[in-house]
Structure 1
Amino acid sequence: MNWSGLFVGGFFVVGLGLVGWKAFAPTDSVQGHSMVPPDTSEIAQGAPMVTVALPEELSAEAQIGKLGFEAKCVECHGQNAAGQNGIAPPLVHITYEPNHHSDQAFVLAARNGVPSHHWNFGNMPAIEGLSNADVLYIARYVRELQRANGIN
């Protein structure tokens, strides 16, 4: 009997079993982000959901994005992207960090809308009247707010 062959074969069988188990195991998080909506019951309806520290200065691109945000996004996502409980989530939140939601995700969300998945506020509708470039400026504004609040 070839013990080394048996050992190698056993190693692969165990490895495949672990891969299969991980692939089909239920999960409540993706890349460290909880897929369970946060408890917002202690926050008043419509109130800001986070406190946002403002950067000392915004880049020229972020200043353009701020204007777009205030024209199209503030009604739901609140001043400085702090969210509004029961209406729309804060974009200055770890859930929207660049490694989890790219700038292109912002473009797709504005163009197509987004089904509710991280929060219990219902689906986000598509936003009319924004070009992809407009949304990228808005994303730049949000990213600079995020960095000022330790979200990189």
Structure 2
Amino acid sequence: MNAQYVDRLSRTDRDVIMTLVPEGVRVLDLGCGDCSLLNQLVSERRIRGTGVDINGEHLVNGLAHGINVYQGDLDEGLADFPDGSYDYVILNQTLQVVKNPLLVLHEMLRIGDFGIVGFPNFAQWGLRRGLFFGGRAPKSPALPFEWFDTPNIR
């Protein structure tokens, strides 16, 4: 398998999200990372987007593209965001790293009209094959961490 094919398989979540978010809506991306999903939504769906991530270095890309970004810890809640202030709240590839997922999910529903949650498929056949034949937790473009150094707590 070539790297582009593997990366394409690992980013199917983005394709699904792109079909779920209508044009011109307000989107809050929790755990936005480098803001690449928000950038894609802005360019293809003309959304008004905001991103939140715990790592301030990740947010530089969003700032460079004119996206409103905030550094914050989702486990501390999102009190700065008023009720119903967004049409869609996205939590993609982030649920498995938060300590209080129930709080984060409640905050999503308080802030937005709709919530979209995506998480890694740790049971995907390629990952299971890597574990079986390699004897170690596999790595991929979507899950690039060593088993002993992963932020995933679920």
TM-score under structure 2 length normalisation: 0.26
Larger RCO of the pair (alpha carbons < 8 Å, separation 6+)? 1
| Greater per-residue helix proportion | 1
Bigger radius of gyration: 1
| Greater per-residue strand proportion | 2
TM-score under structure 1 length normalisation: 0.26
